[in-house]
Amino acid sequence: MTNTDRTGLGHNLPPRHPKQPGTNLTASEAPTARIYREPKSVMQGGLRKRPWVLEFPASCPLSADPLTGWTRNDDPFRHVRLTFPDRESALAFAKRQDWDYRVR
């Protein structure tokens, strides 16, 4: 019998699930990220490396605040847009964060 078995520490605690930083969502509740290569602009010429982008789809529509009339949104991932120099670094970042992802 170990020392913690004798003292009963933590026997009434619920299982702990890691939270996403800045939210109350657990890692399993985070939406599926999209990883894609940014399209080249029609106004752009020459050779230029286009970055890979990681972003999340909108999970809820924008709404108007009844008091101020300003646009509001309760989705913490709506404005997350990360760029990476290559596909491998974008995939590695998503795996490190334990996010589900889809590559286009």
Give the chain's mean pLDDT: 80
Of the ranges 15-29, 64-78, 90-104, the best mean pLDDT one: 90-104
> pTM value?
0.66
pLDDT in tens, 6-44: 555 656 666 666 666 666 666 666 788 999 998 887 787
Q: What is the pLDDT of residue 53?
A: 97
Burial class (CB in 10 A: 0-12, 13-18, 19+), 93: middle
Give the residue, 76 or 80, on which the prediction is more confident.
Answer: 80
Q: Are 36 and 53 in contact (CB under 8 A)?
A: yes
Give the residue, 89 or 97, on which the prediction is more confident.
Answer: 89
Is the pLDDT score of 2 beyond 60?
A: no
Nearest to 48, CA basis, from 64, 37, 32: 37
Cα distance between residue 83 and residue 38, in whole Å: 9
Which of the four pLDDT bands, split at 50, 70 and 90, describes residue 68?
very high
Cβ burial 18-52 (10 Å sphere, 16+ → b, else e): eebeeeeeeeeebbebebebeeeeeeeeeeeeeeb
Strand order of the β-sheet with 33-37 is 81-84, 52-55, 33-37, 101-103
